[in-house]
Structure 1
Amino acid sequence: MTQTPGTRSWWGWGMQEEALDARETEALVRRIARLLPDADPTPHLAPTLTADDLPAIRVEPPASLSALCSTDTVDRAAHTHGKAFRDVVRNLRGDLAHAPDLVVRPHTERDVVDVLDWASSANVAVIPYGGGTSVVGGVEPRLDGDYAGAVSLDVTAMDQVLEVDRTSRAARIQAGVLGPHLEDQLRPYGLTLRHFPQSFAFSTLGGWLATRAGGHFATLATHIDDLTESMRVVSPYGVGESRRLPGSGAGPSPDRMFLGSEGTLGVITEAWMRLQDRPRWRAGASVHFADWDGAVDATRAVAQSGLHPANCRLLDAGEAFLNAGAAVGGGVLVLGFESADHPVDAALARAVELCLDHGGTLPEDADRGADTARDAAASTWRSSFLRMPYQRDALAQRSVIAETFETATTWDRFPALHAAITAAATEAIREVCGIGVVTCRFTHVYPDGPAPYYGVYAPGRWASIVEQWDAIKTAVSEAILGNGGTITHHHAVGRDHRPYAAQQRPAPFAAALTAAKDTLDPAGILNPGVLL
């Protein structure tokens, strides 16, 4: 799980050394040519940056903070956007109009306090930045209001596991630690946080907490909320730390105010997190369906069975073909179980039985005691899952819209919501692109509903590709809210989802959140334009 050494890409996903090689790129271009014959395969390469490509620096830090600050051109560029499709395209175009004036890297909590004190007095916006993997404009200094400047507060130097309570299975962890480094530090204790979002290799604990991130596992502790024991947060008002407790009924939870606050109420510096013993037993299978409705019903049966699979990921026919290499009429349900305490074969067998009751079939030549053939689609999908962001970058370079959006709803509302989203996306694609493909998978499932995650693939025009995607995104966002879904299940609000989150948010809660912002950040310098 140790992160591969290399050079982080300033314009796209991950490490430069991990980008698609020539063979992978050629295969991807061929596949897209068959799927989208109108796509233009001409590559657009990232520009070589000079200081003149970025806006002039407007602020100068006090001497006491200057050692923490960077004005390096590539550093500023890398902290200008997150990692959404539209961010990658703007980077490739050299559109860096909202670059931060400074990148500030605190090493201690005292440094964070000092930065916020200076910024509050100097009217400088502070954008908390972990791994920079936001896909909703959450780390972009695209500001509402008149600020003297903006700094990106990169906390990744604060990256240590400070204390481990093996008895309670918990650890006190600094917020800037990246996923692989966190797991490396827990491994000697036989423990794991067991939180693996797709961005795991390049995102931080603080980022997960600030955005209420969802991990790879489909049931039970799916959100980082479920794994949080207490938090320590620095705001311009002061430093606050909640008490370590397994649970409490002492009024509204202080942690709940900062979980999902996206850097607008304070900077998370550390947290006590609930850990688990590392799994010893695993079992998995892929079940094929000829009918989508039957696949959905089977997934609901498993979600409501009390079996609690670690993985219960339903791929529709398009998703199964594009990313799992499986040709099916209805979909593929990827099941996985794991435990640190006991074998899980019986639980898997019962889950497969439920699927067969709803019309599912196991792949040919796969018996219920062997994982190789029956889990082939799952293995292919897992490999593709890790490469998806790099493939997205290669497609973006070739003017192909390749982006995702997600939501959640109750089981009774899902059919209508799914139909509305698919129709809205298809019509918007037709209007702005001519042709395209919409896919769906379930990333998480609950007893009362799924979290569907949609992919869009369509030929774009390089000169207007951001506007094309924005038109599609607007159409699907309106369909989501109009049919009882949430604007986001785990991608967060940021600046891009803010108008829709405001419609979803009850008015009394909005007033309370605004009051909290005014109290904790009276100068309004923390991540302006996010959430509120």
Structure 2
Amino acid sequence: MARLRNHWGWGWEDEALAPDQLRAAAAGLAQHLGFGAPEPEPAVPLERVVLPDSRLRAPASAREGLFADDLPTRVRHTYGRAYRDVVRGFRGRFDHPPDLVARPRDEREVEQVLEWAAGAGAAVIPFGGGTSVVGGVEARVAGAYAGAVSLDLTALDRVLEVDPVSRAARIEGGILGPALEAGLAPHGLTLRHYPQSFQFSTLGGWIVTRAGGHFATLQTHVDDLVESVRAITPVGLWESRRLPGSGAGPSPDRLLLGSEGTLGIVTEAWLRVRPKPVHRAGRAVRFATFEQGGAALRALAQSGLHPENCRLIDAREAALTFAGDGSAALLVLGFESAHEPVDGRLASALALCREAGGTWEERAEGARGGAVGSWREAFLRAPYVRDVLVAIGVLSETFETAITWDRFDGFVSAVREAVGTAVREQCGEGLVTCRVTHVYPDGAAPYFTVVAPVARGEEVERWDAIKQVAGEAILAAGGTITHHHAVGRDHRPWYDRQRPEPFAEALRGAKSAVDPAGILNPGVLLGPSGPARAR
């Protein structure tokens, strides 16, 4: 029997904490944070959820199993996993559920769903692993649509072909991260793309959201791993030629990257893969201030050493994740290679850290031990921990951005101050922490976390108010509204202001050409939308 996802939170349903485990976790977290109720509130069970009747009926010609309209399936395809999604699901509130869920097993069935939806005037919301944190998979659509169909691509889940000579693999778009890596493992290869959602997100989802992955330098986004893409649009097949590079006009792949399901359904892609690393070396480097750590990051990013891991965590987040005592910022630094030892690169990197005031233990700190291991475990468990925080009345959410080095220190300070003020106004107290997830020669990607007590029933309202301040502070200081979380519906107001208007018009034109009925993920990137009007 297939495993089922938790209908409101992170992970598998059969991995949910038992009541006694939940109480123990709640008490420990409340004590560690200094706020939150030690007695957790129970989530509304699935059997008590009520949805409006479906407005759509599956076509009689559809193959058995292609469409479903039962309540559990519709519930599990209503939301992504942003804080506001998890809170609403926890309370049994499922706004804008899809009327039908389609699960195609091949490209022909994808075409059939799109053809039927266009004729029926139904919106189609592509759904991979359902891990969007920006409202990208919610059927929150404007316009006179007859209903909404959630298009679940997870049956397209195979590694189809491996080219060991070119080091590339042809992989279906609905495959989850663990299955992708398992399919490459027999060939001694890896994609080595590990977003925090790796366990439950899909390759197609990574491509259309320009997901950030394992590497903190060089190949930071899935963009850098894509060789070619194959997608189904309402007007036909969109497939680029498989090439290492091409100067033949604007790239067909680049337009699909970041398109968030508005231009087509990614069914396959050729990805650049690599041998699994066998040589590793790393350290946890401590800095008296976050600014000193930032100076070290810049030196590392501009050195040509290209560390695979280069993440700076401020002192408060280090303490929050048990990676430190709150007295120092922590730089998680790591190198890896499939071909040669990396100790020399690490030694050169540590010399740069020393010049910026960094200190470290001389013994190596493995990825699963010491401060590095503590932070890594907290990073991987964060989505699960957030579910417990919801149960004890604690707001826990993140937002990320990117900025050039010349503005880095002032930018982080200004955003942290603005959001900190908003947190105090909305919640009375709380924490705003910052880490840097990816670095470039010309800048970095700060990633902020908000943790605060919140009155039960007011969670969404309070977070939306804080998020509004965060978005305004980011744009005012010159940053981007998102570095790797995508735009979705939640970031649209700031994205509309960030992009050049001539580009927006060009995007509308492309949308109109490939989706003339305006059915694909309306309201994401472009809007307002309606059937047969994709503007």
- Which residue of the other structure, out of 109, 121, 124, is the alignment partner of 2:122? 124
Structural mapping, 1:15-414, within 5 Å: 15-20=12-17, 22=20, 26-27=24-25, 29-37=27-35, 39-50=36-47, 53-65=50-62, 67=64, 68-363=66-361, 366-367=362-363, 370-371=364-365, 376-414=370-408
Q: Is it true that 1:470 corresponds to 2:429 in the alignment?
A: no
Contact 2:365 2:372 in 1 (8 A): no
**What's the CA shift for 1:50?**
4.4
Q: Distance in 2 between matches of 1:494 and 1:374?
A: 34
**What's the CA shift for 1:7?**
3.6
CA distance 1:26–1:474, change in 2 (3 Å):
same
- Which residue of the other structure, out of 406, 413, 421, is the alignment partner of 2:415? 421
Q: Distance in 2 between matches of 1:45 and 1:92?
A: 8
CA distance 1:18–1:412, change in 2 (3 Å):
farther
The TM-score normalised by the length of structure 2 is 0.95
**What's the CA shift for 1:26?**
2.5
Contact 1:50 1:73 in 2 (8 A): no
CA distance 1:48–1:193, change in 2 (3 Å):
same
Greater mean alpha carbon deviation, residues 221-230 or residues 92-101: 92-101
> Could you tell me which residue of structure 1 aligns to residue 11 of structure 2?
14
Q: Distance in 2 between matches of 1:188 and 1:49?
A: 39
Contact 2:281 2:335 in 1 (8 A): yes
CA distance 1:374–1:101, change in 2 (3 Å):
closer
Contact 2:415 2:473 in 1 (8 A): yes
**What's the CA shift for 1:42?**
3.9
Percent identical residues: 59
CA distance 1:7–1:310, change in 2 (3 Å):
same
Contact 1:285 1:374 in 2 (8 A): no
CA distance 1:287–1:64, change in 2 (3 Å):
same
Specify the SS of the correspondent of 2:307: coil
**What's the CA shift for 1:23?**
5.3
**What's the CA shift for 1:216?**
2.3
CA distance 1:306–1:83, change in 2 (3 Å):
same
Specify the SS of the correspondent of 1:201: coil
What letter corresponds to residue 223 of structure 1 in structure 2? Answer: H
**What's the CA shift for 1:32?**
2.9
Gaps of 5+ in 1: none
**What's the CA shift for 1:24?**
7.4
CA distance 1:301–1:19, change in 2 (3 Å):
farther
Residues paired across the two proteins, number = 523
> Could you tell me which residue of structure 2 aligns to residue 495 of structure 1?
489
CA distance 1:122–1:202, change in 2 (3 Å):
same
CA distance 1:98–1:373, change in 2 (3 Å):
closer
Greater mean alpha carbon deviation, residues 198-207 or residues 412-421: 412-421
Query: How large is the Cα RMSD of the aligned pairs?
Result: 1.7
What letter corresponds to residue 72 of structure 1 in structure 2? Answer: D
**What's the CA shift for 1:49?**
3.1
Contact 1:36 1:435 in 2 (8 A): no
What letter corresponds to residue 131 of structure 2 in structure 1? Answer: T
What letter corresponds to residue 523 of structure 1 in structure 2? Answer: A
Contact 1:290 1:328 in 2 (8 A): no
- Which residue of the other structure, out of 439, 449, 455, is the alignment partner of 1:455? 449
**What's the CA shift for 1:55?**
1.1
Q: Distance in 1 between matches of 2:321 and 2:437?
A: 14
**What's the CA shift for 1:425?**
0.9
> Could you tell me which residue of structure 1 aligns to residue 430 of structure 2?
436
Contact 1:171 1:275 in 2 (8 A): yes
**What's the CA shift for 1:16?**
3.0
Q: Is it true that 1:522 corresponds to 2:516 in the alignment?
A: yes
The TM-score normalised by the length of structure 1 is 0.95
> Could you tell me which residue of structure 2 aligns to residue 482 of structure 1?
476
Q: Distance in 1 between matches of 2:367 and 2:6?
A: 37
Specify the SS of the correspondent of 2:85: helix
CA distance 1:27–1:55, change in 2 (3 Å):
closer
Specify the SS of the correspondent of 2:452: strand
Q: Distance in 2 between matches of 1:483 and 1:342?
A: 42
**What's the CA shift for 1:74?**
1.1
CA distance 1:241–1:471, change in 2 (3 Å):
same
Q: Distance in 2 between matches of 1:64 and 1:374?
A: 53
What letter corresponds to residue 53 of structure 1 in structure 2? Answer: V
Specify the SS of the correspondent of 2:403: coil
Contact 1:312 1:335 in 2 (8 A): yes
Q: Distance in 2 between matches of 1:53 and 1:373?
A: 45
Contact 2:367 2:373 in 1 (8 A): no
Specify the SS of the correspondent of 1:200: coil
Specify the SS of the correspondent of 1:412: helix
Deviations 1:45-85 (A, max 9, x none): 22233497011111112122252011121111010000011
**What's the CA shift for 1:324?**
3.8
Deviations 1:365-388 (A, max 9, x none): x34xx3459962111111111111
Specify the SS of the correspondent of 2:213: coil
Specify the SS of the correspondent of 1:74: helix
Gaps of 5+ in 2: 527-535
Q: Distance in 2 between matches of 1:373 and 1:143?
A: 43
CA distance 1:99–1:24, change in 2 (3 Å):
closer
**What's the CA shift for 1:217?**
1.7
Q: Distance in 1 between matches of 2:355 and 2:48?
A: 63
Contact 2:22 2:388 in 1 (8 A): no
**What's the CA shift for 1:422?**
0.6
CA distance 1:28–1:410, change in 2 (3 Å):
farther
Q: Distance in 1 between matches of 2:317 and 2:506?
A: 41
What letter corresponds to residue 354 of structure 1 in structure 2? Answer: L
**What's the CA shift for 1:19?**
4.1
Deviations 1:293-350 (A, max 9, x none): 1111011111111111110000000111111431243400000110011001111111
**What's the CA shift for 1:6?**
4.8
Contact 2:26 2:38 in 1 (8 A): no
